[in-house]
Structure 1
Amino acid sequence: MRTHAWMPTSPCDTGCLDTTSPRVGVLRTAFRAVRLLIALVVTALDVLLRFGSDRRHAVRAGCSRLLRACGARLVVHGGEDLVDEAHAGGRGVLVVSNHISWLDIPAVNALTPMRSLAKADIQEWPVLGGLIARAGTIFVDRERLSTLPGTVAELTDALRGGALVNVCAEGTTWCGAASGPFVPAPFQAAIDGGVPVRPIALRYRLASGTETTRPSFLGEESLFTSVLRVLRLRALVVEVVVCDEIAPGRAGDRGELARLAEASVRSALGHDTVASARRVLPLRVRTRVR
């Protein structure tokens, strides 16, 4: 993989994984694997055969189905107004979240279907990659910095068009016990589009309330390895906390807007917020004439 100075990086690797989380046996793991495959196929067909609002309902139902197949329970705090707004349509919202696992995308879309900004290589994931693409995902090539202004312009267009777009604002996965700074670039789209930002905090814990890092998708490990680790977990809970909206104009620039959103998420998770130094990349956003 090609890297550059602006690419988000994370020090987290499989050494961050806790070893004490309870696990299910081989038969239960195999049963969940079969259920997950069936859920993927059913969801793929359901999404492909539907259009408009029916497709959005299919995406939401399918994401809930995928979480249940993995043995995970979704717990949501707040966000009723965001769901109502998604149903009503008309106003775009940049929904930003921390990034821990491949489960983040189905967890957010089980709350309400929304478009996503995702790294381009997700398209190569078996079945799930195709579903993500069909959901109107905007893909970013993290290895080619020259494509970033065009991606921000595409994101701006989607927000101006009234879409809810989810961005994993750390730009890469962290283990959950540690976290990274929010990348400012996508926040430029909210400023240019004149839309609010809605932070969402994601947390993975056990039924006992103890947080676990085992659902993390870390380092250079394969998707298969991470999925298998999730299937082995007993009583996984995916917790989604929808924070207060950040209104347009509240921040002076994308760097400040990123810090406000980051502070909101860290507060919801009960983590201390440390204002980390950021280099803000100058963007020449290509506006499209309609």
Structure 2
Amino acid sequence: MIAWLRFIAHLLRFSLRFLLVTLWVIFGLIVLATVFRRFEVAQRDRINNWWSRWLLRWCGVRVYVSGHPPVDGAALLIANHVSWLDIYALSSVRCTIFVGKQELRSWPVLGWLIAGVGTVFIERGNRRALHHVAQAMRERFDRGQLIGLFPEGTTSDGFDVLPFHAALFEPARRAGVPVLPVALRYLHHGARSTLPSYVGEETLMGNAWRVLGSTGVAVQVVYLPPITAENGDEDHRHAMAARVREAIRAEVR
């Protein structure tokens, strides 16, 4: 009986939140299709930030921020990748334009939103595509925007950090912008949890069923001190990536 009541409560929470999220996404798509491009870059970033904060509220996910998030200026933000919620958790603090794998475009509805706000897409395994991605990153740095990158290339359960791909550290190094490590730690009723982790062969809807139907889901967004290239590094890009990874690992393990 208790298990049945819990299932009903889960179903009701999921249904209500799924409805709210769906309406919010539809609203976002309407804004993108009608007025979003008419605004200046700074105004678009504020809209993105505001929309992301409310999306997480509709999902029932709380965000706790520590450290010193950048309030303005260009930077490359490096984070561990755990869930589809990561993008919105980071953008809820300050609008972040992400470099994402091409497959994100195929996500139902969310893929359209991700593309519409200026995400830079990269085709995995295509080295020639790196040049175009680097150019797009430099253009956004020149506009003073914050670029986000998940250099693991895939998601993990959130309790460790997978090896980094270092290629896209180079545009930030050449542009002279700060490289900011950020550790994402997910909680369920105050304890570290894999509940929101979107890994393996799980579907987006399956993960949403678990997250939207639960209570007490939260994410800690921990901003760490900037990492800069050090004199004597034989390979600035790889050495910088290694230092960023170790800084994040120290926070999530």
Shared fold per TM-score greater than 0.5: yes
Assess, with a 3 A threshold, how the Cα gap between structure 1 residues 226 and 57 changes in structure 2: closer, same or farther.
same
CA contact (8 A) 1:77 1:242 kept: yes
Assess, with a 3 A threshold, how the Cα gap between structure 1 residues 159 and 249 changes in structure 2: closer, same or farther.
farther
Quote the offset at 1:161 in angstroms. Answer: 4.2
Query: 1:128 is matched with which residue?
Result: 110
Query: 1:56 is matched with which residue?
Result: 45
Matched, 1:254 2:237: yes
Alignment equivalent of 1:237, drawn from 199, 218, 222: 218
Alignment equivalent of 1:186, drawn from 155, 168, 186: 168
Where does structure 2 lack aligned partners over 5 or more consecutive residues? 1-5
- 1:264 maps to a residue whose letter is A
Quote the offset at 1:112 in angstroms. Answer: 0.5
**Which stretch shifts more, 168-177 or 142-151?**
142-151
- 2:242 maps to a residue whose letter is R
Secondary structure of residue in 1 paired with 2:92: helix
Matched, 1:214 2:190: no
CA distance in 1, matches of 2:230, 2:139: 18
Query: 2:3 is matched with which residue?
Result: none
CA deviation profile, 1:172-204 (whole Å, cap 9, x unmatched): 111112330222111111122221101111011
TM-score w.r.t. the length of structure 1 is: 0.77
Assess, with a 3 A threshold, how the Cα gap between structure 1 residues 194 and 212 changes in structure 2: closer, same or farther.
same
CA distance in 1, matches of 2:130, 2:93: 28
Q: Residues 1-290 of structure 1 correspond to what in structure 2 (within 5 A)? A: 24-48=9-33, 49-50=35-36, 51-52=39-40, 53-80=42-69, 82-83=70-71, 85=72, 89=73, 92-207=74-189, 209-247=190-228, 252=233, 253-269=236-252, 271=253
Secondary structure of residue in 1 paired with 2:158: coil
What is the RMSD of the two structures over their aligned residues, measured on CA atoms?
2.1
CA deviation profile, 1:99-146 (whole Å, cap 9, x unmatched): 000000000100101211001121122322122112211100014344
Quote the offset at 1:148 in angstroms. Answer: 2.5
CA distance in 2, matches of 1:237, 1:120: 28
Assess, with a 3 A threshold, how the Cα gap between structure 1 residues 233 and 159 changes in structure 2: closer, same or farther.
same
Secondary structure of residue in 1 paired with 2:12: helix
CA contact (8 A) 1:157 1:193 kept: no
Quote the offset at 1:248 in angstroms. Answer: 5.3
CA distance in 1, matches of 2:23, 2:231: 45
CA contact (8 A) 1:152 1:185 kept: no
Secondary structure of residue in 2 paired with 1:34: helix
CA contact (8 A) 2:65 2:221 kept: yes
**Which stretch shifts more, 133-142 or 251-260?**
251-260
**Which stretch shifts more, 47-56 or 24-33?**
47-56
TM-score w.r.t. the length of structure 2 is: 0.87
CA distance in 2, matches of 1:234, 1:102: 18
Secondary structure of residue in 2 paired with 1:182: coil
Where does structure 1 lack aligned partners over 5 or more consecutive residues? 1-21, 272-290
Q: Percent identity of the aligned residues?
A: 32
How many residue pairs were aligned?
A: 241
